[in-house]
């Protein structure tokens, strides 16, 4: 994430006309040797191995947190208390309790703006998807179907921090389901009200330690989580995340079915939005593929290349960095940005799914109010 975020801050002012010019002032990490090389490569002016010094630096106005999940809260709370604006990687925190503390701190420090890096909102095809749903092109939403499938988490993968509950909070659930829950909420404009049921499984229970000793340590996060949901408008939904789905490298999919049609997105073809107009004559009815690459018609595209010249993974981060700077400069973003309040709602959904799996029972989200 350090590379993705650094690239975004460096590229945003080169491609977007922004009300402020972001200056990449200081980058912080634990390894001083690696940090100096990283800063030189990505354009950071200063480095520190003590992130707390950033809170005391009057020249820093926005702090971007890209650390493991379990330290998000400590760092965000310190920066908000120091009067900084804060952008934080997703999920908001490793636990619901930490996420609640972050939300409450953001409420308290009203002069500081907060942002959460749900970068898939910034894919032009997803932005178009939201527009079509909000315009009523698919009618009333009746079903949401979302998957995020990867295959890198097999037994050959060592015991990274992402496989340890103390650091990550959860596995595929917080890493992947967080994205698709956020996307579903973003596109539909509705909130999840209940988790009728969920399954949580850990298939790989031991992984090689990173010290090269050949010894193994316990992998105690979920590898696979699937759950059902109900939305506030009455729609049913299914969400599935896995790091063990061979054949799927980064398959982030969202399909919305409505009374008048459907829309579908697959990140492995991220420039395409599929649209089915169920009001069309039957002889013409079916899926249409829309290349979301028109600068005049699709969000964020106009800042990039000539029409039909596709963009990639990194552009979602750049698009978000540009929208953050717009907000800080008093302008409107191209589409709503998630803040700590917004991301907390996604965290509640994730927690409710884990509780539903543990209790083998339906869990209303009102339980966490």
pLDDT tens track for 265-287: 999 999 999 999 999 999 999 99
Please say if the pLDDT value at position 152 is more than 90: yes
Please say if the pLDDT value at position 92 is more than 90: yes
CATH code given to domain 123-307+340-358: 3.30.360.10
Average pLDDT over every residue of 74-92: 98
Average pLDDT over every residue of 168-182: 96
What pLDDT is stored for residue 166 in this prediction?
92
Which of these, 135, 122, 179, lies nearest to 301 by C-alpha position?
122
Phi, psi of 67 (to 5 degrees): -95, 170
Average pLDDT over every residue of 54-63: 98
What mean pLDDT is reported for the chain?
97
> Which position has the token pair 């010019």?
21
Please list, in sequence order, all residues whose beta carbon lies within 8 angstroms of the beta carbon of residue 44, skipping any fewer than 6 positions away. 6, 24, 25, 26, 27, 38
- How far is Cα of residue 98 from the mean position of the Cα atoms in its chain? 17
116: buried, middle or exposed (CB in 10 Å: 19+, 13-18, 0-12)?
A: buried
What pLDDT is stored for residue 114 in this prediction?
98
Phi, psi of 31 (to 5 degrees): -95, 105
2-119 and 123-307+340-358 share one fold: no
Which of these, 320, 315, 316, lies nearest to 115 by C-alpha position?
320
What pLDDT is stored for residue 41 in this prediction?
97
- Separation between Cα atoms, residue 175 and residue 254, nearest integer Å: 16
Q: How many CB atoms lie within 10 A of CB 252?
A: 23
- Separation between Cα atoms, residue 347 and residue 21, nearest integer Å: 32
- Separation between Cα atoms, residue 114 and residue 109, nearest integer Å: 10
Please list, in sequence order, all residues whose beta carbon lies within 8 angstroms of the beta carbon of residue 30, skipping any fewer than 6 positions away. 49
Please say if the pLDDT value at position 313 is more than 90: yes
Please say if the pLDDT value at position 256 is more than 90: yes
What pLDDT is stored for residue 289 in this prediction?
98
Q: What is the dihedral of CA 296, 19, 106, 189, to 10 degrees?
A: -10
What residue spans define the domains of the chain?
2-119, 123-307+340-358
Average pLDDT over every residue of 233-241: 98
CATH code given to domain 2-119: 3.40.50.720
Please say if the pLDDT value at position 369 is more than 90: no
């Amino acid at each position: 994430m350090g590379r993705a975020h650094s690239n975004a801050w460096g590229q945003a002012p080169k491609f977007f006309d922004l009300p402020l010019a972001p200056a990449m002032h200081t980058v912080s990490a634990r390894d001083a040797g690696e940090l100096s090389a990283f800063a030189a490569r990505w354009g950071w002016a200063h480095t520190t191995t003590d992130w707390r010094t950033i809170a005391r630096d009057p020249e820093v106005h926005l702090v971007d947190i890209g650390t493991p999940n379990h330290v998000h809260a400590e760092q965000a709370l310190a920066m908000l208390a120091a009067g900084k604006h804060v952008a934080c990687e997703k999920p908001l925190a490793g636990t619901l309790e930490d996420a609640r503390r972050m939300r409450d701190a953001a409420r308290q420090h009203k002069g500081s703006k907060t942002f959460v890096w749900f970068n898939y909102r910034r894919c032009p095809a997803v932005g178009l998807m939201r527009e079509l749903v909000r315009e009523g092109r698919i009618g009333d939403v009746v079903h949401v179907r979302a998957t995020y499938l990867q295959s890198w988490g097999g037994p050959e993968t060592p015991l990274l921090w992402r496989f340890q509950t103390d650091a990550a909070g959860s596995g595929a659930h917080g890493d992947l389901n967080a994205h698709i829950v956020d996307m579903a909420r973003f596109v539909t404009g509705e909130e999840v009200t209940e988790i009728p049921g969920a399954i949580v499984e850990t298939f790989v229970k031991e992984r090689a330690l990173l010290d090269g000793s050949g010894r193994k340590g316990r992998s105690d996060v979920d590898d696979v989580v699937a759950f059902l949901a109900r939305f506030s408008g009455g729609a049913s939904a299914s969400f599935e995340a896995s790091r063990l789905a061979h054949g799927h490298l980064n398959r982030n999919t969202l399909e919305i079915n409505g009374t008048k049609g459907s829309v579908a997105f697959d990140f492995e073809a991220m420039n395409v939005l599929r649209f089915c107009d169920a009001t069309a004559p039957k002889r013409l009815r079916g899926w249409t593929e829309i290349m979301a690459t028109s600068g005049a018609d699709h969000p964020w595209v106009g800042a990039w290349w000539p029409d039909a010249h596709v963009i990639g993974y990194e552009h979602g981060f750049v698009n978000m960095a540009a929208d953050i700077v717009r907000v800080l400069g008093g302008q409107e973003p191209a589409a709503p940005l998630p803040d700590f309040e917004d991301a907390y709602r996604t965290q509640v959904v994730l927690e409710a799914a884990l509780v539903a799996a543990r209790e083998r029972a339906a869990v209303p989200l009102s339980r966490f109010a």
